[in-house]
Amino acid sequence: MRFLRLTVALIVAAVVIDFAVSNRGMVDLSFWPFVEGLQIWLFLAILLPFLIGLALGWFAAGWRSWRRRRAEKKTAA
């Protein structure tokens, strides 16, 4: 099982690195109320929102399970 997890992680890492190397062009991001824009690499403009959403989902799931375990602990005692 550990070998399978490592293999999948290496494949995902290789795909992400290939994606980043293939999309190194600069893009301009501008947000409506702000006059100045932001110039960043394309792969960051795509991967950062994905990683932020992944982290927020992981946090929300952890928070939910923490609350459930806490409630179960109170009812068991």
Task: Give dist(CA 41, CA 19) in Å, integer.
Answer: 12
Asked if residue 25 lies in contact with residue 40, where contact means CB atoms within 8 angstroms, the answer is: no
Task: Give dist(CA 64, CA 61) in Å, integer.
Answer: 5
Q: Provide the whole-model pTM.
A: 0.67
| pLDDT tens sequence across 1-58 | 899 999 999 999 999 999 999 999 999 988 888 888 889 999 999 999 999 999 999 9
* pLDDT the model gives residue 33: 86
Looking from the CA of 5 toward its CB, the CA atoms found within 13 Å total 2
Tokens of 14: 């290789």
Q: What are phi and psi of 29, to 5 degrees?
A: -110, 130
* pLDDT the model gives residue 77: 65
| pLDDT tens sequence across 54-77 | 999 999 999 888 888 888 887 876
Tokens of 42: 């394309």
Q: Which amino acid is it at 13?
A: A
* pLDDT the model gives residue 74: 79
